[in-house]
Amino acid sequence: MERDFEVRALGKEARRLDVADNGLCFGRLDSVDGRASYIGRIGLFEQDDEYEPLLLDWRAPAARPFYTATGARPEGMRRRRQFHTRGRRVLEFTDEVLGRPEGGERGDAALLAAVNAPRGEGMRDIVATIQAEQDEIIRLDHPGVVVIEGGPGTGKTVVALHRVAYLLYTQRERMERHGVLVVGPNPAFLNHISRVLPSLGESDVVFMTPGGLVPGLRVTAEDAPEAARIKGSLKMVDVLKAAVADRQRLPEEPVLIDLADVTVRIDAATAEWARDEARQSGLPHNEARAVFLDVVTYVLTERAIARIGRGWLTRDDRDGWERLRADLVKELAADEGFAAAVDGMWPVLTPESLLARLYESEERLRAAGADLALRRADGAAWTVSDVPLLDELVDLLGRDKSAEQAAAERERGKQVEFAAGVLDQLVGRQDSMDDEDHLYATDLLHAEDLAERFVEQDTRELVERAAADRDWTYRHVVVDEAQELSAMDWRVLMRRCPGRSFTVVGDLAQRRSPAGARSWDAVLEPYVPGRWAYRSLTVNYRTPAEIMAVAAGVLAEFSPETQAPESVRACGVAPWSRQVSDEEVAAAVEEFVREEAGREGTSVVIGPPDVPGAVPASETKGLEFDAVLVVDPDRILADGPRGAAELYVALTRATQRLGVLHRDPLPASLTGLVAR
C-alpha cells in the first residue's frame, strides 16, 4: 500500500508537470535594481543547497507586479516582458517599459491578442493576461463569501477559477485534504471550464451541477416555472417535516399480536406515547424508529408478563421478570405481524420513496400543507428542483442502519473473497519454489485479516471519494450562475461547506429561474451575516462592442437599472439579421453552419426546440463561441422576463460574429442589426 500511495502521488505530480508544460513560462519582470524574475504557471527551483527559484509561480507575492505594475505605478519594476509560445518554442515576445508616468495603465497587446484569438473546445486560463481589477479579486484576503458579479464576457467565471487556484496555493495544507467543489449550471458548462484548473496545476476539485449534488443522481430535467418556484422556497422545509410526521401514524383500531402464550394489542394510546418519545429524542425519523420500537415493545411485554405471570410472578422476582421479558422481546422481534404493525406506524423511509408518494397523493400534499400544484403522475422523473428536497430529506430521515449494515457486510464479503484469491496465488507461487522449508502466506495472514487492512485504506482519489459521499464537506465552494439557485439549493451548498468559504459568481440581470436570487443580501445574510464581500467586474473581454450594442437594447428593456459592461474591443463585423419564411429556416441554418465550418473557431445555433440543430439559450450560459446564430428571437422573448434574460444570454455568447434569423418582424428592443 505504501508503494501504491507513492506511485499515486508521483503520478499526480507528473500530470501536474505535463499540463503546466504548455505555456510554462509566459513572462519576465526586470526590477530597477537589475534582478530578473521569470513568471510561470507553477514554481520551479534549483535543486541545490540554495534552492533558488528558477520560475516564480504566478500566485507568489513576488509575481504580483507582473499583473499590477503600470507606467505610472511601476512597483519597483523597470520592464515587463510577455512571451508568446507554442509548446516549448518562443514565437515572439513583447516588452513594456515601466516607470514612465506618461505610460498610463498597463499595455493591452497581449490581452487583445488573447481575446481576439479563435475559441477552442474549452475555456482557456488567463494566467498570462490577468488584469489589475481581476487580480485584486483573485488575491482578495477574505475568509467568508466573495461575490463576483459582472455582465456577459467580464471574465467572472475564469477569475473565480483562478481565485481557487490561488487559495489552493496559499492555503494548501488547510484545503488539500478536503478539496474544492465547483457548481455550474449544466454538464456542457462544466466540460467547458474543466481544463482551467488542471492547466494551473490543480486537480483536487470536484465539478457538479445542482442536479448532481446528491450522489447517485444526475438530474437535468426542469420543472415548469410555477412548480420550480414553489419547490425552491424555504417553505418546503416545513412541508417536508410535515410529510415525515404524517408517516408517523397511530392505529385507527387496536392491532392484535398473537404470541405463543398471550395475545397483546397496540392501541392508539400506546402508539402515541411511543411516537411522542421518538419525536422528543431529536433523532432523524429512521433512527428514532428504534425509540418508537423500544417503547412499544416495553408496553407490550409489561402487559404480557402481567397476564402470563398472574398468580405466580411478582416484580420482586426481578430475575424471573426479566427472563420472561427477554423471551417475549425475542418472540416479538420474530413475529411478522408485529413487524408489519410497526412498519405501518413508523416505516423505514428513503428520501425518494417519501417524496414520490407525497407528489402522487393530493391527500398527502394537503396533510403536509403543500401546494397542490406539486401533484404529478406516478413514476415521473426527478427534476433539478427535486434534488435539494431529496437532500433535505437525508437529514430529516437519517440513515437506515440495518440496510447500511447489510450493505457493509456484502462489501466485506467481496473483499474477503478477493483477499482469499490473492493468498491462493501466493501459496501457488510458494508451492513452485524448490525450498521445502518455507512459511506459507496463509501461515501468517488469513483472508479476513487482509480484507480488513484493505478496507481501512481507501485508495480512491480525493475527487472520487468526495463525489460519492453525500456527507463530504469541502473547504471552499465556487457557485457559478448563482443567480439561478433557489433558497433550497443554498441550504444544500451550505451543508457541504460548514466553514462558509465561498466564491459566488453571477449576474442578477441574467436570472431566468423564478426561484432564483433577486439580491445577494437576501441569499447570504441568513448564513454569513456580515461575512460576505461584493466585487464587480465592468469590462467585457469577450463580446465586441458591435454585438454588445445590440444586447444592451434588450437589457435596457427588461432591466433598465443594470448598466451593460463596456467592451474592451471592436471586431469590425456588424451583427446582421435576415427575415425568412417557415420553409426557408432550415436552409438558412444549414447555410450558417456550412459557412462557419470553413472558418477557424467554434459556432452555435440558439433557438426554440423545433429549430433544426438549435440549442436553447439556457444550455449556453457561461459558454462562448466565435459565431452565433439566434433564431426566432420573438419566440424566445415570448416567455416573459425569463425569455428576455434568455435572449440577452443568447446575444452575448459571440466573440466575433452574430446573426439573427426571424420569421416575424424583429422585436422593438433588437436594434443595430444590419439587414441581409
Checking if the pLDDT of 106 tops 70, the result is no
**Mean pLDDT on 92-110:** 71
Distance CA 554, CA 547 (A): 12
- In the predicted model, is pLDDT for residue 643 greater than 70? yes
Across the beta sheet with 205-208, the strand order is 205-208, 180-183, 476-479, 502-506, 145-150, 532-537
Span of 53-67, 392-406, 472-486 with lowest mean pLDDT: 392-406
In this prediction, residues 563-584 reach a mean pLDDT of: 93
Q: How confident is the model at residue 111 (pLDDT cuts 50, 70, 90)?
A: confident
The DSSP output letter for 615 is: B
Lowest model confidence (mean pLDDT) among 314-323, 407-416, 559-568? 407-416
Q: Answer yes or no: is 151 a known binding residue.
A: yes
Residue 553 assigned to a binding site: no
In tens, the pLDDT along 213-247 reads: 999 999 999 999 999 999 999 999 999 999 999 99
Question: Contact at 8 Å (CB) between 139 and 146?
Answer: no
Q: Is 537 helix (H, G, I), strand (E, B) or coil?
A: strand
Query: In terms of pLDDT, which residue wins out, 63 or 174?
Result: 63
Q: Are 133 and 115 within 8 A, CB to CB?
A: no
Q: How far apart are CA 20 and CA 105, in angstroms?
A: 29
Model confidence at 665, in pLDDT bands (50, 70, 90)?
A: very high
Spatial contact of 311 and 236, defined as CB atoms under 8 Å apart = no
Mean pLDDT, residues 430-457 taken together: 60
pLDDT at res. 320: 84
DSSP state of 216: T
Contact 233, 486 (CB under 8 A): yes
Distance, in Å, from the CA atom of 61 to the CA atom of 550, rounded to the nearest integer, reads 41
Nearest residue to 519 via CA among 534, 499, 531: 534
Does 459 count as an annotated binding residue? no
The annotation status of 154 as a binding-site residue, yes or no, is yes
- Whether residue 72 contacts residue 90, with contact meaning beta carbons closer than 8 Å, is answered with no
Provide mean pLDDT across the span 54-69: 93
Q: Report the candidate in 116, 153, 156 with the shortest Cα–Cα distance to residue 555.
A: 153
β-strand 89-97 against 77-86: which pairing, if any? antiparallel
* pLDDT band for position 265 (cuts 50, 70, 90): very high
Residue 580's pLDDT band (cuts 50, 70, 90): very high
Residues 6 or more apart in contact with residue 13 via CB below 8 angstroms: none
Nearest to 353 by CA among 471, 251, 247: 247
- What per-residue confidence (pLDDT) applies to 490? 98
Per-residue cell: 457: 485504506
Query: In this model, does residue 537 exceed pLDDT 80?
Result: yes
Question: Which pLDDT value is given to residue 298?
Answer: 95
| Alpha carbon 239 to its chain's center | 25
DSSP state of 128: T
> Is residue 117 over pLDDT 60?
yes
Provide the pLDDT for residue 321: 87
Q: Tell me the mean pLDDT in the region 164-191.
A: 92
What pLDDT is attached to residue 104? Answer: 47
Residue 498 has pLDDT above 70, yes or no: yes
Q: Is 150 assigned a ligand-binding role in the annotation?
A: yes
pLDDT for position 128: 87
pLDDT value of residue 477 = 98
Q: What pLDDT, on the 0 to 100 scale, is given for residue 245? A: 98
> What length is written for the chain?
676
Q: Alpha-carbon distance 38 to 526, whole Å?
A: 45
pLDDT higher than 60, residue 557 = yes
**Would you place residue 102 in the very low, low, confident or very high pLDDT band (cuts 50, 70, 90)?**
low
**Residue 560 backbone phi and psi in degrees, to 5:** -65, -20
Is residue 605 a contact partner of residue 631, using CB atoms and an 8 Å limit? yes
Percent of the chain exceeding pLDDT 70 equals 92
pTM of the entire predicted model: 0.86
**Portion of the chain with pLDDT greater than 90, in percent:** 66
**139-155: per-residue pLDDT in tens?**
999 989 999 999 999 99
Per-residue pLDDT at 39: 95
Residue 445 pLDDT level (bands cut at 50, 70, 90): low
- To the question of whether residue 153 is assigned a binding role by annotation, the answer is yes
Q: Is 28 helix (H, G, I), strand (E, B) or coil?
A: strand
Mean pLDDT across 449-466: 74
Query: What residue type is 550 in one-letter code?
Result: V
Q: Within a 10 A sphere around the Cβ of 610, how many other Cβ atoms?
A: 10
pLDDT tens-digit readout, 285-321: 999 999 999 999 999 999 998 888 887 888 788 888 8
Alpha-carbon gap, residue 566 to 569, rounded angstroms: 9
Residues 6+ apart with CB under 8 A from 452: none
Dist CA 268 CA 271 (whole Å):
5
514 has a pLDDT exceeding 60: yes
Residues 6 or more apart whose Cβ sits within 8 Å of residue 492: 210, 213, 387, 388, 391, 392
C-alpha closest to that of 633 among 559, 551, 561, 566? 551
**Is the model's pLDDT at 338 over the cut of 50?**
yes
- The mean pLDDT value for 87-97 works out to 88
pLDDT single digits (tens) 358-410: 999 999 999 999 999 999 988 889 999 999 999 999 999 998 766 556 666 77
CB-based contacts of 662, cutoff 8 Å, min separation 6: 577, 578, 579, 580, 631, 632, 633, 634
pLDDT of residue 114: 77
* Cα-based distances in Å from 458 to 5, 413, 446, 462: 10, 17, 20, 10
